[in-house]
Amino acid sequence: MGNPKAHGQPEPGEVIAVIRRVLTENGRDFIPHYTVAGICMLAVAGTTAFSAWIMRDIIDEIFYRQQWHLVGWICAAIVVAFTIRGFATYGQAVLLAKVGNNIVARYQRRIFDHLMRLDIGFFTATRSGQLAAQINQNVTEIRDLLNMTLAALARDAVSLLGLVVVMIIMDPLLSLIALVIGPPLVYTVNYLMRRLRRVTRESVEINSRLLGAMQESVQGIAVVKAFTMENALAERMAGLIRDAETRSNKIARVSERLAPITEVLAGLAIAGVIAYAGWRAASSAEPPGSVFAFITALLLAYDPARKLARVQVNLERALVNARMIYEILDIEPRQGDAPNAKPIDVARGEIHFEKVRFSYAEHMPVLNDVTFEAKAGKTTAIVGPSGAGKSTLFALLQRFHDLDSGRIVIDGQDIAGITKRSLRSNIAYVSQHPYLFEGTIRDNIRYGRPDATDAEVEEAARMASADAFIHQQANGYETLVGENGATLSGGQRQRISIARAVVRNAPILLLDEATSALDNESEAKVQEALERIMKTRTTLVIAHRMSTVVNADRIVVLEEGMLVEEGTHKTLMKKPGGIYARFYRMQTQRGDNLLENGQASETAGERETETSEESR
């Protein structure tokens, strides 16, 4: 995913490019906030330098020369300086927090909007849990990157510069002794940054895999327990946790290595200064104010110097995270609208598949020269064994993928030349795996058409045979469905999914095993409702149950990606050796289709589980 160089160490030019990009994209919008925060930081830096400067007058004028009339003025100046420092510290902290939170929200919106533009192939190749964890980890670091940069420049660097100026003014020779720690400190920081780049990226990737694996385990908890996978998953998670812990410990060892080095160098410098100052004071009769002011400035300078060294290490970690965010944002959607694409105009809804050929990546073709017509206002059923390409046809009709060759035409318009949004707004889709979103039942139905009224939502639920069980819920249509509808049975989730398609009121209806999760009674009700709405729509149906396809106006039979038979139920049954006839006899001889018993058992099991949970 992203740049092939992403897993290597960034070059210095790349580091500068990332900082420049972050500042270019965000700095301009927050110039007023950063200006005020910068002024506050300058005030903090100025009052810090003033604290060292005033020490000379305190020692020389009050204690050495005993100018007692200056006590009031000096005390007042100290109170004013610390008051300014307090309010300035508060102001810069609040402003930076406000800007930082806005930047986090901004990048979250950008990433989500960008993900919504990416093609299905990206999400097929990327684990959703890992992606969510990686985004959550990395996006906050962009906020910290800007705040650290501003704090380093406007507060710590200016404070250090002001204190160094005070030191030089007070005693140039002592300043030279104190500043000898600079070169070894700079070398140490550069060395640690190079070590930290690689291990930080490894840590982010391992943690994202860990959080993604946890999320997937929770989402698939029913399968985990059904197959007694607890121990196997626990061992796998333990390995990931071990790796994450090891990398985190390594980051701590590398980044915290700066502390003892900084402390030792600072201790040597301060000890050297005090020793030299003590020797000079013993051999001369100069007032000690300048030396005390110098030592105060030196001690105060240690804190911003330490922060600047630390911020470089933390900045390196933030840069790694920022680069990983931009790797996602820089992914170009591989399947966009064609140049000059126009909105589709669906008057009748007649669909033509013309020599459609498609394959996933470099694999064998899933569909090979498929040609058929789905007449407007009629029902076309697509039948065939698993892997024949039935669901792929639906994906291509919705332009989740682009064709290798051939074309799909709706009312004379090639869908390759129309906007995807307008195409999909004219299609209602019911998947065999219904997905519900966090929120209420009403919300999930209304996702089919956001401007639908409450009355239209409830009418769609009645048509999908969902209204009765919805009213049995504690809060009716306002009942929260939980994560992916966890509080509802599979059949209930499917009926809400069907209601969502009904309320969309689109001229083309796609049903992919739409009644597969329903018991016989519910299926009959839903099928009756579907037949009512199918009369005025072009409907394509994928089904294994023969009862759902025998009344179709047209039946298309696929096998190994090729269209092998086509016709009505009556004409296809006249071919004794045909695939459709054999498939139909196989089901009717056993009293029902091959899948119904298993699905009925599953539905019964779900009802039994729900009953036992309610009794508990």
549 three-state secondary structure? coil
- Report residue 480: phi and psi, to 5°: -75, 135
Confidence of residue 71 (pLDDT cuts 50, 70, 90): confident
Task: Note the pLDDT of residue 136.
Answer: 72
Q: Is the pLDDT of residue 483 over 50?
A: yes
Confidence of residue 592 (pLDDT cuts 50, 70, 90): very low
Helix (H) or strand (E) holding 213: helix 182-219
**What's the average model confidence in pLDDT over 93-122?**
83
Which residues, at least 6 apart from 190, have a Cβ–Cβ distance to it below 8 Å?
A: none
Top mean pLDDT of 10-19, 254-263, 280-289 is at: 254-263
Task: Note the pLDDT of residue 370.
Answer: 92
* Residue 149 CA: distances (Å) to CA of 234, 547, 589: 41, 67, 75
Least confident of 188-192, 424-428, 597-601: 597-601
Q: Is the pLDDT of residue 410 over 60?
A: yes
The percent of the chain in helix, strand and coil, each rounded to the nearest 5, is: 70, 10, 25
Which residues, at least 6 apart from 3, have a Cβ–Cβ distance to it below 8 Å?
A: 327, 330
Judge whether 375 and 356 are in contact, CB under 8 Å: no
Task: Note the pLDDT of residue 285.
Answer: 62
Task: Note the pLDDT of residue 130.
Answer: 65
pTM (whole model) above 0.85 = no
Q: Is the pLDDT of residue 315 over 80?
A: no
Measured distance CA(100)–CA(33) in Å, rounded: 11
Task: Note the pLDDT of residue 55.
Answer: 79
* Domain locations in the chain as residue ranges: 11-329, 351-426+506-615
Q: Is the pLDDT of residue 280 over 80?
A: no
Q: Is the pLDDT of residue 237 over 80?
A: yes
CATH superfamily of 351-426+506-615: P-loop containing nucleotide triphosphate hydrolases (3.40.50.300)
* Residue with more model confidence, 89 or 599: 89
**Sheet with 405-410, edge to edge strand ranges:** 367-374, 351-358, 405-410, 413-414
Measured distance CA(358)–CA(367) in Å, rounded: 5
Q: Is 95 exposed, middle or buried (0-12, 13-18, 19+ CB in 10 A)?
A: buried
Q: Is the pLDDT of residue 8 over 50?
A: no
Measured distance CA(489)–CA(333) in Å, rounded: 36
In tens, the pLDDT along 154-174 reads 677 777 787 788 788 877 877
Task: Note the pLDDT of residue 614.
Answer: 37
Q: Is the pLDDT of residue 407 over 90?
A: yes
Confidence of residue 590 (pLDDT cuts 50, 70, 90): low
Task: Note the pLDDT of residue 372.
Answer: 94
What is the 3-state secondary structure of 274-309? HHHHHHHHHHCCCCCHHHHHHHHHHHHHHHHHHHHH
Return the CATH class of domain 11-329.
Answer: mainly alpha
Residue pointed to by tokens 């190749």 = 125
In tens, the pLDDT along 338-366 reads 788 899 988 888 999 999 999 887 677 88
- Mean of all residue pLDDT scores within the chain: 79
- Report residue 512: phi and psi, to 5°: -105, 95
Residue pointed to by tokens 């064998």 = 364
Task: Note the pLDDT of residue 13.
Answer: 56
Q: What torsion, rounded to 10 degrees, do the Cα atoms 239, 226, 480, 113 define?
A: 50
* Residue with more model confidence, 528 or 83: 83
Structure tokens, 567: 């016709």
* Residue 579 CA: distances (Å) to CA of 167, 180, 219, 595: 94, 88, 38, 18
Which residues, at least 6 apart from 131, have a Cβ–Cβ distance to it below 8 Å?
A: 208, 212
Judge whether 197 and 322 are in contact, CB under 8 Å: no
Q: Is the pLDDT of residue 556 over 90?
A: yes
In tens, the pLDDT along 194-235 reads 677 667 777 777 777 777 777 777 767 767 777 788 888 888
Measured distance CA(442)–CA(540) in Å, rounded: 26
Which residues, at least 6 apart from 418, have a Cβ–Cβ distance to it below 8 Å?
A: 337, 341, 342, 343, 344
Confidence of residue 4 (pLDDT cuts 50, 70, 90): very low
Q: Is the pLDDT of residue 99 over 80?
A: yes
CB atoms within 10 A of CB 453: 11
Least confident of 9-23, 190-204, 474-488: 9-23
* Residue with more model confidence, 216 or 385: 385
Q: Is the pLDDT of residue 79 over 80?
A: yes
Q: Is the pLDDT of residue 46 over 70?
A: yes
Picking from 520, 117, 507, the residue whose alpha carbon sits closest to that of residue 329 is 117
Measured distance CA(40)–CA(44) in Å, rounded: 6
Measured distance CA(414)–CA(422) in Å, rounded: 13
Task: Note the pLDDT of residue 602.
Answer: 41
In tens, the pLDDT along 503-547 reads 988 999 998 887 766 677 767 777 776 777 787 789 999 877 776
**What's the average model confidence in pLDDT over 258-264?**
75
Task: Note the pLDDT of residue 319.
Answer: 75
* Residue with more model confidence, 453 or 132: 453
Q: Is the pLDDT of residue 51 over 70?
A: yes
What percentage of the chain reaches a pLDDT higher than 90? 15
Measured distance CA(503)–CA(463) in Å, rounded: 10
Measured distance CA(364)–CA(343) in Å, rounded: 33
Residue type, 263: E
Residue type, 226: A
Measured distance CA(163)–CA(51) in Å, rounded: 9
What percentage of the chain reaches a pLDDT higher than 70? 84
**Sheet with 379-383, edge to edge strand ranges:** 427-430, 508-512, 538-542, 379-383, 554-559, 562-567
Task: Note the pLDDT of residue 129.
Answer: 67
**What's the average model confidence in pLDDT over 29-52?**
83
Task: Name the maximum alpha-carbon separation found in the chain.
Answer: 122
* Helix boundaries (H) for 330-368: none
Structure tokens, 450: 């956001």
Structure tokens, 422: 């307008």
Least confident of 328-342, 443-457, 586-600: 586-600
**What's the average model confidence in pLDDT over 73-84?**
88
Task: Note the pLDDT of residue 9.
Answer: 47
